[in-house]
Structure 1
Amino acid sequence: MQIETIRLRDFRNYHSLILTPHPGVNILLGQNGSGKTNLLEAVHYCALGRSHRTGLDREVVRKGAMMAASGVTLRKKSGKTEIAVKLTPSEARKKTVFIDCKRAERISALMGHVQCVIFSPEDLMLVKEGPAIRRRMLDMMLSQLSTAYFSALQQYQKALEQRTALLREAKRGITPDPVLLDTFEDAMAIPCGIIIPLRDKLVKQLAKIAAEKYERISGRPNEMFRMTYQPCVPETSNPVPAIRAELKKSRQEDIRVGGAGCGIHREDIGLSLMGRSMKVFASQGQIRTAALAIKLAQLETFRAETGETPILLLDDVMSELDMTRRTRLLREIEGVQTFITCTDESDLDGCREKRSYRVWMDSDGEGHVQEESAGDEVMKPDLLHDPELDEPSGK
């Protein structure tokens, strides 16, 4: 998989941009706040229809603009595909996806076209932070691998919100309709029949590869790194009956706390080193190695599942790694189209197949990108007459 072109319109601090990236490593150099991460965010939108930084689409619309758009031309083994996401926060349809210039009916149609793995400083907290960040990693990956997973996750989240709202009424003394409560709990349990088996399978795949990557990066075969899925119910092959029973059993407690104590939104991944919890015992170096091993395992799993190598987005993480880990990371990503943001190019000494871009912001706050070797600015507003990014035909 390779991105041949990135096109932006009024996205974050970019008014208009066409970028033709290198098939290998693309280095985005610039000061903090210049707009480097915005380019990675634009690619992420084309993969998942959302930002990896914010849950508010309106934040990515350039100040003074009514809409924002991000598009990529993607080359895969099956051929070339055009993907675009248009954001119009002030309109009823706030987000529109275009695939090969045709408007998609649902956001879920986007899933699976662009696969990417992102590694940001926040991902270094995969080990130490609470379970939400680890669940989010699973959700992001599985949504790209399975449209059924993405749809099931949406159904579950909607039903969870409905049940929670109903139980909060009970806390105020309003007796909930038992039939409606059963309906919402069914609507929570049924998607778990898709979600839990897929999470279980994925964690097992990641665990095997991540253990190998950890050993290779650390150079310490005695430090046995393990990942284990911690499901909300013991039965993972057919979890629906158990979920139903747990939800019914926990109603009174859920009314008291104002939430659902059981469900996939409570699951976690256990991370251990030599049989001991990494949350408690791991050093900073071990934490960084584990996070890196997990990300590399994601790359390998995508490749195994789809036959395509995903796009890798490295957001300001090279400075967080020591020289040994940086060198081993660069060795691992050979042959992977990668976008790396950094402030110091010396962090990437030893990287061979690469192209460097200077990213900066002018006095008006507008972002600019210039290829270092060519000395030419890649921003070309006059070329941006693209129906996907400008005035989609709605076909």
Structure 2
Amino acid sequence: MFIRHITLQNFRCFATLDIPFQSRCVLIQGNNGAGKSSILEALHYSCYLRSFRTHVHRDLLRLNEDHFFIKITTEAHDLSSCDVMSVGFSPAQGKLVKFNDKPVHSYKDHIDHYRMVTLSADDLQLVNGAPEVRRDFLNYALFLQSPGFLAVFKRYRQILEQRNSILFSLRHSSGLSSNEELRIWTKSLWEQSNIIRVIRCDYLQNLEVTVNKLLAEYFVTTDQDLSVSLSYHDKVAYTEQNFESFWQMYKQKHIMSEQQHGRSLFGVHLDDFSIIFQQKKARVFASRGQQKLIVFLIKVAQMLDLNHLGEPGVLLLDDFLTDFDDHRVAQCLTALYGLPFQIIVTCPTNASALTTGLAFSAREEDFSIVSL
């Protein structure tokens, strides 16, 4: 998929905006406050139906306006067809999504048409942020890769909600551990957790392989010992071979804590994964530059894995490369230019090294600049 055109109305600082994207590699440059990030935010919003900068949809409205509208024209990867995705929002009516003028009623159908991976400075939280950041990354990465995962995860949330409701109602009950209803919902949560855990672990394993291939191909010449590993962690172990073994262990060690808290204290909603860089925890021992490199590699690997599954999308980089040194910028650009999908990058007007590097790396017909 290639993005060929974007139209915005009442989105952030733009009353109206029309921009054609004429190449595989697009550089959007401008001064601070010109709206570079807002364009990428609109592209991101059209995929995830949420912003990477705010959780409040109203924040995306232009001042004193009561709605915004985004229209994106895409072209198939094999250039066989063009499609139009449109997303509108107003506080009164909520979101309205259309594909080729037909309403889209499910997120699964939406993702089938339009896939986007975004890389911004906030993504450093993938390394140094809280566990929920990494869980969100895994969940959305799996939604992109297999929209059917959404139904699996929704079923998990329903089971979790029901089990939490039981725990809350039995919070002051002395017979909690023998409650048969709780046992039934515990088994459902255990089963669904194991299904999702396997899916997540397989994804991380494949992602780790792709990350290290990128390291070996583009970064090993100057950093011989670079390696990244991704390790999944259960907050409470629930991987016993059968439920009865788990249930007996859980009653002995954890059920009283659940009784006190009134909520489930095991399951994939509490799990995490660690990022190991050069055999040390990246969160603690990696420098900021190394953490940025790790996140860059993870997002590029995510795109490559999508592409290998026949689901190519678009990679967005929101002013992410400009504070690398020139050598690291050159390595990243070499890696980006070798990718088989569209890349849209923002940078300040004065980022001459990045602009020159992109232009030098790409063939003339593959590179274009949008100036704001």
Q: Please tell me the TM-score bracket, short chain as reference.
A: 0.7 to 0.9
The equivalent residue for 1:286 is: 290
Partner of 2:21, secondary structure, is coil
Q: 2:369 aligned to 348, 356, 364, which one?
A: 356
Alpha-carbon offset, residue 209 of structure 1: 1.1
Superposed CA RMSD: 3.2
- 2:358 maps to a residue whose letter is C
Rounded Cα–Cα distance in structure 2 between residues aligned with 1:142 and 1:90: 32
One-letter code aligned to 1:30: G
Aligned partner of 1:43 in structure 2 is 43
CA displacement 1:188-240 (0-9 Å, x = unmatched): 4554455323212211111011112234325323233212233565649x998
Partner of 2:346: 341
Q: SS in structure 2 opposite 1:126?
A: helix
Q: How many angstroms apart in 1 are the aligned matches of 2:11 and 2:17?
A: 9
Partner of 1:114: 114
TM-fit CA distance, 1:162: 4.8
Question: After alignment, is 141-150 or 68-77 more displaced?
Answer: 68-77
| Distance in 2 of aligned mates of 1:239 and 1:208 | 30
Say how many residue pairs are matched: 355
Q: 1:315 aligns with which of 313, 318, 328?
A: 318
Amino acid at match of 1:336: F
- SS in structure 1 at match of 2:296: helix
Separation in 1, partners of 2:242, 2:203:
16
Q: CA deviation at 1:3?
A: 0.6
1:305–1:350 CA distance, 2 compared to 1 (3 A):
same
Separation of aligned partners in 1, 2:186 and 2:132: 22
- Name the SS for the 1:32 alignment partner: coil
Name the aligned partner's letter for residue 67 of structure 1: H
Question: Cα gap change, 1:144/1:240 in structure 2, threshold over 3 Å: closer, same or farther?
Answer: farther
CA distance in 2, matches of 1:158, 1:206: 29
Letter in 2 for 1:319: T
Query: What is the match of residue 14 of structure 2?
Result: 14
Cα deviation digits, residues 228-279 of structure 1 (max 9, x gap):
233565649x998888888877443124235432111222222213432222
The residue aligned with 2:213 is: 212
CA offset digits 1:151-182 (Å, max 9, x no partner):
22233334434544553454477999957656
CA distance in 1 between counterparts of 2:141 and 2:322 reads 25
- The match for 1:79 among 75, 81, 105 is 81
Partner of 1:68: 68
Choose the corresponding residue for 2:330, options 327, 332, 340.
327
Deviates more, 1:199-208 or 1:56-65: 56-65
SS in 2 for 1:264: coil
Q: Distance in 2 between matches of 1:286 and 1:186?
A: 42
1:362 corresponds in structure 2 to none
Counterparts of 1:62 and 1:268, CA distance in 2: 37
Could you tell me whether the CA contact under 8 Å between 2:4 and 2:21 is conserved in 1? yes
Structure 1 gaps of 5+ residues are: 360-395
Q: Match of 2:139?
A: 139
Question: Would you say the 8 A contact 1:12–1:38 is kept in 2?
Answer: yes
Distance 2:48 2:371 in 1: 27
Q: Is residue 262 from structure 1 mapped to residue 258 from structure 2 by the alignment?
A: no
* CA-CA distance at 1:285 after TM superposition: 3.2
Q: Percent identity?
A: 23
Provide the rounded CA distance (Å) in 2 between the counterparts of 1:6 and 1:43.
8
The change in CA–CA distance for 1:141 and 1:158 in structure 2 (over 3 A counts) is same
CA contact (8 A) 1:196 1:264 kept: yes
Name 2:362's counterpart in structure 1: none
Q: Which amino acid aligns with 1:330?
A: L
- Where does residue 199 of structure 2 map in the other structure? 198
- Paired letter, 2:200: R
Q: Give 1:351 deviation, angstroms.
A: 1.0
| Alpha-carbon spacing, 1:97–1:25, altered in 2? closer, same or farther (3 Å) | same
Offset at 1:301?
0.8
Match of 1:224 among 223, 227, 238: 227
Normalising by structure 1, report the TM-score: 0.78
Change (3 A) 1:104 1:323: same
Aligned match of 2:91 = 89
Matched position secondary structure for 1:319:
coil
Cα distance in 1, alignment partners of residues 89 and 24 from structure 2: 29
Amino acid of the structure 2 residue aligned with 1:198: I
Moved more, 61-70 or 141-150: 61-70
* Higher mean C-alpha deviation, range 189-198 or range 205-214: 189-198
Cα separation, partners in 2 of 1:254 and 1:210, compared to 1, 3 Å: same
Partner SS state of residue 212, structure 1: helix
Q: How big is each residue's C-alpha offset from its partner over 1:4-24, in whole Å with a ceiling of 9 and x where there is no partner?
A: 111222222222222211322
